[in-house]
Structure 1
């Protein structure tokens, strides 16, 4: 079983009415995804990238109009590092008051994983009521 260590710690969830992590916060994403989008396979070791939260309009300007950035999404990156293929489902965590908060789940981004284009994450705060209901069912 997993234990809390220097490297492994639980992350908090934000309630739907708490202050959001908006543009300017520098957060971290982790995963075993590719470091080169043109090379198949995943990495042998877990990688971490520091990625700043990007406002929606700036994020939207990086993608075709077919890909709408919704309020239930949060964008991060475009500052020299990014998530890539194989990182999907991984965490986007932000530090506040000495606690890490699970702000997003790696979802999608630029097909070539360009480091100057933000990645798009599911904004967990948009689903906090649903998550609370599921956890309170205690069916596990």
Structure 2
């Protein structure tokens, strides 16, 4: 994540993260007692051929098996473990069959845990939107993660969870931005139908390498709804290159089919706020550090997976 570097909001209790090896981090999100969501662009099974991964577009691919992953919930500072953290094994990984490469359709996976998660004040699921929910252009939402603070610069110790507020950008507008100074013909879409974007035309505030799979969430009436998953982008915080996210509303049937337990956490919602559809044209917001007194609440649903 670039420009805005502050801790996850105290209301957000669902962020999970996969830590693959000593230096690779992929966030995932708790959506049911035994189910988490993440992007498909970072994981592939050991018996699969890894898709090609342009370094400027994604975090790369990792060979994984169920036995090589351990899920850790309740993390806040990755290099400073706390008493709220628990560990759970992985039973199954299901990658969406439409996914072929970074920037393709279907950048989403389900991870089934071996045992149910006991919800606590620090570990709770995020609400999933129903397929009909409209995430309006200009709606202010939040992206969170432990990724790089800018291209090539890792989050320094103690690796405190970060957040950034960004306006949503619709497919048509985002696709137009990505065609600026691009070799791709304007008749060939870059931003596809199951994607959504967030950020600013001027750049600055953005997700970054290491934030992949993390949540893009929007608030209504005290509840937080998962709008998207950090998917890909062209660098971090570049002009005309906002972050690209997997649009959750495009995958409700697939999620319900492969993880029936998630259906009770799917909620219809209307965002009753006044939005500025041109918010992406504004300058990026500035960093706002959060009080250290809030950190116990922030732990709520932070999870990472360690690859043995």
Provide TM-score, normalisation by structure 2. 0.40
**2:173 corresponding residue in structure 1:** 58
Of the three residues 75, 98, 110, the one matched with 2:197 is 75
Q: 1:73, 1:123 within 8 Å by CA — same for their partners in 2?
A: yes
Q: 1:82, 1:115 within 8 Å by CA — same for their partners in 2?
A: no
Confirm whether residue 136 of structure 1 aligns to residue 260 of structure 2.
Answer: yes
Q: 1:93, 1:104 within 8 Å by CA — same for their partners in 2?
A: yes
**2:162 corresponding residue in structure 1:** 47
* Structure 1 residue ranges, 4+ long, deviating more than 6 angstroms after superposition: none
Q: Which moved more, 1:64-73 or 1:30-39?
A: 64-73
Q: 2:133, 2:249 within 8 Å by CA — same for their partners in 1?
A: no
Shift of 1:95: 0.7
**1:21 corresponding residue in structure 2:** 135
After superposition, the Cα gap between the structure-2 partners of 1:67 and 1:47, relative to the gap in structure 1 and judged at 3 Å, is: farther
After superposition, residues 68-107 of structure 1 pair within 5 angstroms as 68-78=190-200, 80-107=204-231
Q: In structure 1, list runs of 5 or more residues that go unmatched.
A: none
Aligned residues: 135
Q: In structure 2, list runs of 5 or more residues that go unmatched.
A: 1-85, 87-117, 263-308
Provide TM-score, normalisation by structure 1. 0.83
Q: In 2, distance between residues paired with 1:115 and 1:3?
A: 41
Structure number with greater Rg is 2
Shift of 1:67: 6.1
CA RMSD across the alignment: 2.4
Q: 1:91, 1:102 within 8 Å by CA — same for their partners in 2?
A: yes
After superposition, the Cα gap between the structure-2 partners of 1:84 and 1:50, relative to the gap in structure 1 and judged at 3 Å, is: same
Q: In 2, distance between residues paired with 1:100 and 1:136?
A: 21
**1:33 corresponding residue in structure 2:** 147
**2:31 corresponding residue in structure 1:** none
